[in-house]
Amino acid sequence: MISPQPQLPAKPPANTRERYVACYFDIPYNQSGCGRGYGQRNKAKLQEFLGRKNLDRHLDADEAIVLGASLHAANLSDGIKLNRKLGMIDGSSYGFVVQLDGPDLVNDETSKDLLVQRMKKLPSKMFRSLKHNKDFKVSLSYETGGALPPGVSSYKFAQYAVSGLTDASDKYSSRNLSSPIKANLHYTLSRNGILSLDRAEAVIEISEWVDVPKKNLTAQNATTATPTISVDVGSGNISEGSTEKSGNDNMNSGSRINNTSDSNLGEQSILDVGTEKKLKKRTFRVPLKIVEKTVGPGKSLSEESLSEAKIRLAALDKKDADRRRTAELKNNLEGYIYATKEKIESSEEIGKVSTDQERRSFVEKLEEVQEWLYTDGEDASATEFQERLDLLKIIGDPIFFRLDELSARPEALEQARRYFGEIQQIVTSWEKNKPWLPKGKIDEVLSGTDKIRNWLKEKEAEQKKISAFSTPAFTSEEVYGKVFDLQDKVASINKIPKPKPKVEKLIKNETESDGEKANKNSSEESSEKEPAPEESSQKEPAAEDRVESSSEKEDAKTENHDEL
């Protein structure tokens, strides 16, 4: 077990002192006894051991990052409760001064006012006030004698023109001013360390005699304050339950006054004694106009300079785009040369679709372009790279197309024949499960299949007669196109829905008007043609029966309704 108070050995040689101290500080906190009391004793022993009065304290960059991160995490954490806010604050890297310039204002080194001290907390807001009644200018500068930011040669970095103060002074100068006119300036130091003038205002204080109502006096105080009005408080006319009111004539003649009403029973009477003059101070705040005139490195570009800069940037962007395109085309040309030479040397199938002379001449052309690429083509333009690449593709693309078709065409033929077999199964399924499909549509599918099959036979026979070194009679893409068209036609027929069954419509009962028309027509026909009486007698009861049946149904419905 380690003792809470480490015992220092005898004084080691001078060359091992620092190493010893380092080893001492490597002892964990809970083992070295570095509490409040032990810490002081350890410090005294170290001072005695090293022969120094003050011990050095250092914080390197890595330790500073770790310490800052830990303190910031402690501030953000909800699980760690701190007695006080720990952490670090940002400070201004530079000191800033403000200088005013205008009528009746001194403009020299003595007039500069230190507005922001170096390492002032960020962000911050400042306020300055001056007694002045004319428009003026405000200049912001770096503190003289201090370090300037990189690339900055002038101490002054911003200038503002404050206007509106002269007009406000002329407007209120005829009034009774209680104090000189002042201008308040409000500055802001942002979190990024940028100082700016936010707003300005004129402050005018005026003393005026204004009419204010006199203080309301009770009836008891009114006898001494207004001798023209006599109020008899003890006469009993002003009481708690009194509702009697005297008129204006009685008040002018000196009679008793009673101003109590039913709504304020139990309170003392109040008198309206008019207004009086009183001296009051009024403050007016007039916003002032601020126009920024930035100078130095932060000055805004003029319209002409801005347009010229845009033109230069556009030209630079075009050069960058051309450079990227040139590099890309050069890389494409180089890659095509290497990939093509490797394919010609490694592929055994390429001999079936090209002659030895054709391959030899193509390789020679590739080597010629490759040599040009590393000699005269180092500084060539993008157009030249593209032209060389197109010339090589004109020679190589037909060869590689025949090479690809050598394996792609048989595969396409195999898939087409497989689908022809599926067509027979599909048609059989239609006849069994979907008898409503139009027979003409099904015949179109079968005839289309026969046409494609015959076309393939003709093309295969033609391809056998053509050399493999020439353009093929047909391609795999043509085969897939015809098969896909046939598949679309089959899918469209397969989506034809089953027709809905026909529903016989019930014979509607004829209305009375229709019955009358039928009777008229039957009477006219009987007058022209004399039908057999038996037939007419047979038809009439049928109509009557229908009417009776309908009436019976209505009666049944009404009876059911009555029962309900």
**Residues whose CB falls within 8 Å of the CB of residue 217, separated by 6 or more in sequence, listed in order:** 225, 270, 271, 273
Residues 42 and 136 in one domain: no
488 within a domain of the structure (yes/no): yes
> What type of residue sits at position 252?
N
Band the pLDDT of 87: cuts 50, 70, 90: low
Residues 123 and 219 in one domain: no
436-474 per-position pLDDT tens digit = 888 898 899 999 999 999 999 999 999 888 888 888 899
Band the pLDDT of 555: cuts 50, 70, 90: very low
What's the average model confidence in pLDDT over 50-75?
Answer: 78
535-554 per-position pLDDT tens digit = 444 444 444 444 344 444 44
Distance from CA of residue 306 to its chain's centroid?
Answer: 29
User: Contact, 138 vs 162, CB < 8 A?
Assistant: yes
Q: What is the overall mean pLDDT for the chain?
A: 76
313 within a domain of the structure (yes/no): yes
Residue 401 sits at φ, ψ, to 5 deg, of -65, -45
Residues 65 and 100 in one domain: no
What's the average model confidence in pLDDT over 268-277?
Answer: 64
Residues 338 and 421 in one domain: yes
What's the confidence (pLDDT) of residue 70? 81
What Å distances lie between residue 525 and 185, 521, 533, CA to CA? 115, 6, 13
Helices 439-465, 382-433: axis angle to 10 degrees equals 140
9-23, 35-49, 118-132: range with highest mean pLDDT:
118-132
Residues 52 and 110 in one domain: no
228 within a domain of the structure (yes/no): yes
Residue 162 sits at φ, ψ, to 5 deg, of -105, 120
Is the pLDDT confidence value at 265 over 50? no
Is the pLDDT confidence value at 55 over 70? yes
Q: What percent of the chain has pLDDT over 90?
A: 35
What's the confidence (pLDDT) of residue 201? 95
**Distance between CA atoms of residues 261 and 267, nearest Å:** 10
What's the confidence (pLDDT) of residue 535? 42
Residues 101 and 195 in one domain: yes
Residues 552 and 454 in one domain: no
> What type of residue sits at position 167?
D
User: Contact, 370 vs 321, CB < 8 A?
Assistant: no
What's the confidence (pLDDT) of residue 501? 82
SS3 136: strand
293-351 per-position pLDDT tens digit = 776 666 667 788 889 999 999 999 999 999 999 999 999 999 999 999 998 888 888 88
Band the pLDDT of 288: cuts 50, 70, 90: very high
- CATH code for position 182: 2.60.34.10
551 within a domain of the structure (yes/no): yes
Residues 524 and 488 in one domain: no
Domain span at 122? 96-210
Q: What is the tally of structural domains in the chain?
A: 5
- List of E strands, 352-443: none
Residues 35 and 105 in one domain: no
301 within a domain of the structure (yes/no): no
Which is more confident, 480 or 110?
480
Domain-terminating residue out of 250, 273, 296: 273
Residues 353 and 409 in one domain: yes
SS3 of the chain: helix, strand, coil, percent, to 5: 50, 15, 35
Question: For 531, which DSSP code?
Answer: -
466 within a domain of the structure (yes/no): yes
SS3 508: coil
Which candidate, 86, 81, 115, places its Cα nearest to that of 98?
115
What Å distances lie between residue 382 and 372, 379, 397, CA to CA? 14, 10, 22
Residues 192 and 157 in one domain: yes
Element holding 560 (H helix, E strand): helix 533-563
Band the pLDDT of 513: cuts 50, 70, 90: low
Domain-terminating residue out of 210, 225, 240: 210
Residue 492 sits at φ, ψ, to 5 deg, of -65, -40
81 within a domain of the structure (yes/no): no
Which is more confident, 512 or 154?
154
Counting Cα atoms < 13 Å in the Cβ hemisphere of 200 gives: 25
Residues 71 and 172 in one domain: no
Distance from CA of residue 150 to its chain's centroid?
Answer: 35
**Distance between CA atoms of residues 201 and 290, nearest Å:** 10
- CATH code for position 429: 1.20.1270.10
Tokens (6 digits) for 421: 């077999």
91 within a domain of the structure (yes/no): no
Domain-terminating residue out of 210, 230, 251: 210
